[in-house]
Structure 1
Amino acid sequence: METSKKVLWIITSLVLLFLLPYLGAIIAFNGDFPPNLFTYPAIVPQAKSHFNGYIFAIISVFFVAIALLYMYPRLFGFKRVVVYVSAKKKAPLPLWFWISLVVWCGCLILLWGKFQGIRWFLKFIDILLWWSFTLMIDGIVYARNNRRSLVTIRHRELVGVAFASILGWMFFEYFNFFVDDNWYYPQGGQLPPAEFLSYSMLASTAVFPIAFEWYSLFNTFESFKAKYSKGIKLVLPKWLKMTLLVLSFGVMFSISFFPDTLFFAVWLSPLIILAILLSEMKIWSPFTSIKDGNWSPLLLIALSWVVSGVCVECWNYFSADHVNGQIITENTLYWAYSVPYVDAYHLFEMPILGYLGYLPYGIYAGVWWITFAFLLNIPTQFSEAGHDNV
């Protein structure tokens, strides 16, 4: 397929991803949208279906299966891989690690201390918090990988990932409208909507870089990287990929009709669509090496946002006081969740089963950057030849 046709197919798919939920909403609401449908930021939770023990149990089985896959891959057909690790030359932690550590700790102290005299600063603290955390991880990668990290050898690509991260996250904020706000921002009303949007966009520049930094760190552990490299060889037939593609577009069209039933679609459908497009265009993605039995790129990039998710949910939760069900905080970007069927047993604000959503989101971060880089002809080493060096 010619490059121009590939670009056309990708752009067409992104336009459909944007339009289909909107067109579905027009039909679902007979053209008369609820007044709060496109309110941004959403500051109050919307009514959702109550907890369902059967659905919770079914998803819990999947949750346990995923955990077992990561801990005991041989249960799932992976072969044991013996890795002879040669002594790598290590480097001391770089200056930006220590600066970032001080900034990150300082931000946490100010955020968790809830100091009233610096309200203006707390409103915008997440930008510093997220980026200092990202650069801390990069510093560890630098030390473990003989002075090679995104900052030192791929800083231009890191900037590109940051810009791609804005649009990648804004898509999710847009999809969130149509599932009755799976997440919302209780203190979002402290800022005018345009100012909140600008702040959210700046903070989102770190969302995808965090995933790439964790992925880079995982790849510095040779035995961990090799643990998932000898699995089942899986090749999806074209008819199945086309079926999944059509179903994913159909689901995105339908989410306004069944927002509770399809609330999970925002985490899966965009990823499936982009992954299948890349596959058909012979562009490397974390799914590509599965055909050879190497699941490491897929499982490690998926894990990147599970680890990140636990971290960010932790510092988000403790930035607020929780009094009689009320959230009291000066953190403008504080977020909470309102999900159907499984809203129970929380770890911080997130329902425990909600962490499953971070698995496809980590993969989405990788797939989105590959797509973004291809469209803009940006050189990237996140490719078949160099994905393990990300």
Structure 2
Amino acid sequence: ASLLATDGARCGLLFVFSIPLWWLFEVANRFLGNWEYVLPHPYPPVVYALLASLAFSTVIPALFTTATLLRTFPVFRRPRYWLRLAPSRRGLVLISLAGLALVILALSFPRVAFPLIWIGFFLLFDPVNRLLGNTSLATDVAGRRWDTVLVLFAAGLICGFFWELWNWHSLPKWVYHIPYANRPTLFEMPLLGYGGYLPFALEVYAAYHLLHWSMFRRQESFVTFDQSRPPSDR
């Protein structure tokens, strides 16, 4: 069943949590300058903030509903076991601090370090989730489970493709200013930029679960695409 059909009210939280998440990236972009918006006309600040927040509210729902749909296909339905990565609590703290350092580097030296923002937030947030006992990809890979990582990668690429397609001839729209990588492009996005949708999907997942924990002090149980089933259960 779709997320909306499962529980409409809880699905609404995806939209709510999506707003501060993308505003976080907008704040980061004040330093990075990697994209800007082309508007049909100037908007008053309050109107702009409201319209932008409405648009930003769709990011998490788009990724999570796509991931949920992908889980219905056999290639994504099975558990995927691979390398075990299980750092200690101290290791998790160090990884989180490294993520913070990557974010600071990206913001401090945006011309050369801007790509680090797309992995830094994930490395900052996901170990914190693990340390809190919250849902995390760190917990999955500690058990050699990589299927949620793979389905998020696929959902990120699919959503990224359609976001860029729909943006291409739209107005308002966004355009990119990427040092050293502005060509070739697919729609407005430099081709290399699509690689950023892979870690971005992981960041969204980690940030969502951290936001949920911060608000409710418990693990989230509504999103289920991270719960694959073995063949015997189907």
Shorter-chain TM-score tier: 0.7 to 0.9
Aligned to 1:123: none
**Letter of the aligned partner of 2:47 in structure 1?**
E
Match of 1:387, SS state, is coil
**Letter of the aligned partner of 2:147 in structure 1?**
S
Q: Does 1:358 align with 2:197?
A: yes
**Letter of the aligned partner of 1:376 in structure 2?**
M
Aligned to 1:149: 2
| Shift of residue 189, structure 1, vs aligned partner | 5.0
Q: Does 1:338 align with 2:190?
A: no
The answer to whether the 8 A contact 1:373-1:379 is kept is yes
Instruction: Give RMSD over aligned pairs.
Output: 2.2
The answer to whether the 8 A contact 1:219-1:388 is kept is no
Q: Does 1:170 align with 2:23?
A: yes
Distance of aligned partners of 1:157 and 1:250 in 2 relative to their CA distance in 1, 3 Å threshold = same
Aligned to 2:132: 281
Q: Does 1:213 align with 2:65?
A: yes
Q: Does 1:372 align with 2:211?
A: yes
Aligned to 1:246: 97
1:149 & 1:274 partners in 2: Cα distance? 27
2:199 & 2:156 partners in 1: Cα distance? 9
The answer to whether the 8 A contact 2:105-2:116 is kept is no
2:102 & 2:149 partners in 1: Cα distance? 24
1:301 & 1:288 partners in 2: Cα distance? 15
1:188 & 1:177 partners in 2: Cα distance? 21
1:239 & 1:269 partners in 2: Cα distance? 18
| Shift of residue 192, structure 1, vs aligned partner | 2.5
Distance of aligned partners of 1:354 and 1:205 in 2 relative to their CA distance in 1, 3 Å threshold = same
| Shift of residue 188, structure 1, vs aligned partner | 6.6
Distance of aligned partners of 1:198 and 1:152 in 2 relative to their CA distance in 1, 3 Å threshold = same
| Shift of residue 239, structure 1, vs aligned partner | 4.4
**Letter of the aligned partner of 1:287 in structure 2?**
A
Distance of aligned partners of 1:382 and 1:235 in 2 relative to their CA distance in 1, 3 Å threshold = farther
Distance of aligned partners of 1:344 and 1:292 in 2 relative to their CA distance in 1, 3 Å threshold = same
**Letter of the aligned partner of 1:274 in structure 2?**
F
1:199 & 1:375 partners in 2: Cα distance? 26
Aligned to 1:76: none
The answer to whether the 8 A contact 2:127-2:138 is kept is no
| Structure index of larger Rg | 1
Distance of aligned partners of 1:293 and 1:254 in 2 relative to their CA distance in 1, 3 Å threshold = closer
1:309 & 1:188 partners in 2: Cα distance? 23
1:386 & 1:200 partners in 2: Cα distance? 28
Aligned residues: 227
The answer to whether the 8 A contact 1:216-1:388 is kept is no
The answer to whether the 8 A contact 1:278-1:371 is kept is yes
The answer to whether the 8 A contact 1:381-1:387 is kept is no
Distance of aligned partners of 1:386 and 1:183 in 2 relative to their CA distance in 1, 3 Å threshold = closer
Match of 1:336, SS state, is strand
The answer to whether the 8 A contact 2:155-2:201 is kept is yes
Structure (1/2) with the larger helix percentage: 2
| Shift of residue 344, structure 1, vs aligned partner | 1.2
Please give the residue correspondences for 1:252-291 in structure 2 after superposition, counting only pairs within 5 Å. Answer: 252-291=103-142
Aligned to 1:81: none
Aligned counterpart for 1:309 among listed residues 126, 149, 160:
160
Aligned to 1:135: none
**Letter of the aligned partner of 1:282 in structure 2?**
G
**Letter of the aligned partner of 1:381 in structure 2?**
S
**Letter of the aligned partner of 1:299 in structure 2?**
L
When normalised by structure 1's length, the TM-score is: 0.54
1:256 & 1:286 partners in 2: Cα distance? 25
1:307 & 1:288 partners in 2: Cα distance? 25
When normalised by structure 2's length, the TM-score is: 0.88
**Letter of the aligned partner of 2:97 in structure 1?**
V
Q: Which runs of 5+ in 1 are unaligned?
A: 1-147, 320-330
The answer to whether the 8 A contact 1:287-1:297 is kept is no
| Shift of residue 211, structure 1, vs aligned partner | 0.6
1:236-294 alpha-carbon deviations (Å, 9 max, x no partner): 34444333322322333344431112211321211111101011222121332112221
Aligned residues with identical type, % of pairs: 24
